Amino acid sequence: MKFSCEIIINAPIDHTAAVFENPDNLKHFQDGFISKELISGTEGSEGAISKMIYKKLELKETIITNNLPAEFKALYEHKHMTNTMSVQFKALADDKTQYISEIDYTKFNGLFIKLMATLFPGMFKKQVYKWMTQFKTYTESLLD
C-alpha cells in the first residue's frame, strides 16, 4: 500500500527542515512519542539506526537518505508492519514551504493488520496527515 500526503507550512524552508530534523521536536507533533534512541551510526546520517519508542509501540528507524531540505527517506520496522517514508520540502516562497510525505507499506505481519490495511486503508493516510498537520502547527508556532 502506497500513498502520499502534502501540506503547506507558513514558514521558510530552512526553518521547516530544521524543526523536522531535530528529534527533540517529535514529542510536539507525534502523539504518544516518548523517545528516540540511537542504536548505531551517527544521529541523522544515512545508515543510522534508532529505536523510536511510543506509548503503544516501538519502531526501528534506518535512515536511507538525508539531504534535507530536498529529501529524507527512512525505513521503519515494527513487528506488525514495515514501511518506508520519503519526505520532501519545497520552497514556494520565502515564507511558505510545501511538505510532501510518501509512505510505502511493504509488509504486513499478522491477520489483524492485513485486514485493517485491506478494509480501512484510509486510516493509515489519516494518521500521517494528522501528524503532518500537527507538525505544521508546531513549526509555525516557533516563529511567533
pLDDT for res 83? 94
DSSP state of 84: E
The yes-or-no verdict on residue 25 having pLDDT over 70 is yes
Cell of residue 46, nine digits: 544515512
pLDDT digits (tens, 9 = 90+) for 62-86: 999 999 999 999 999 999 889 999 9
Please compute Rg for the chain using Cα positions: 15
Contact between 30 and 103 under an 8 Å Cβ cutoff? The reply is no
CA-to-CA distance for 6 and 131, rounded, in angstroms? Answer: 11
32 confidence band (pLDDT: 50, 70, 90): very high
pLDDT for res 24? 95
Bond before 12 cis per omega within 30 degrees: no
* Domains along the sequence of the chain with CATH: 2-31+67-141 (3.30.530.20)
